[in-house]
Chain A
Amino acid sequence: GAGVSQSPSNKVTEKGKDVELRCDPISGHTALYWYRQSLGQGLEFLIYFQGNSAPDKSGLPSDRFSAERTGGSVSTLTIQRTQQEDSAVYLCASSLFSEQYFGPGTRLTVT
């Protein structure tokens, strides 16, 4: 079956621009996670959605970052006024119980 998909695979943007990253989870998975992987920081949690519950936003690094999940399926991570330190690979994962399945990631480069 289809795995987690993310788009775009690569995004280059100028400092100060807004970007949107998309995640399509595995069909039927109720939980969706966003992580960020950057050089020197490893993999860090950003935000977590579970069903209709309020999302856990505790990992978002600043108020320039936001995410939403529409209809309990597709999620969009938005970064406003991008900065060079936002350059990283953004990974999305979904799960039904505990095991998390990851997408291929979006590589964001802020110039």
Chain B
Amino acid sequence: KQEVTQIPAALSVPEGENLVLNCSFTDSAIYNLQWFRQDPGKGLTSLLLIQSSQREQTSGRLNASLDKSSGRSTLYIAASQPGDSATYLCAVEETSGSRLTFGEGTQLTVNP
């Protein structure tokens, strides 16, 4: 059974810092990995999707990497801003179009 773990569970940083969120998964036979953002009381917003054949994806200040063989992904946020404060979730999809298995999330607070 696939298990997804995210470290740290919570993170508080001053504005402007670069930071790294970690995600690990137990079964490396995945189809893709997706990073989401969730604001309090809201649904999930997709940030980046990395196919299993890819090593990384970038969008603006966000960069996600994938090391499938070791079962790890990182989300790098450059020059953090208070508006980045949210819970960040990673999820893996094991076959095309199948369910997502989520980690517990990292709650990020960026202080002005």
Interface residues of A (CB under 8 A from B): 4, 31, 33, 35, 42-45, 48, 50, 56, 59, 91, 93, 95, 97-105, 107
Task: Report if A50-B49 is in contact (Cβ < 8 Å); known contacts: A91-B43, A100-B34, A102-B43.
Answer: no
Select A42's contact among B32, B44, B99, B104, beta carbons within 8 Å: B104
Interface residues of B (CB under 8 A from A): 31-32, 34, 36, 41-46, 49, 51, 89, 91, 93, 96-105
Task: Report if A33-B99 is in contact (Cβ < 8 Å); known contacts: A42-B104, A99-B34.
Answer: yes
Q: Is the CB of A45 within 8 A of B101?
A: yes
Q: A42-B105, A44-B102 are in contact. List 13 more A-B contacts (CB 8 A).
A: A4-B43, A33-B100, A43-B102, A45-B100, A48-B99, A91-B44, A93-B44, A95-B97, A97-B97, A98-B31, A99-B46, A100-B100, A104-B42
- B26 CB, min distance to chain A CBs, angstroms: 15
Select A56's contact among B32, B99, B102, beta carbons within 8 Å: B99
The residue on B at minimum CB distance from A40 is B104
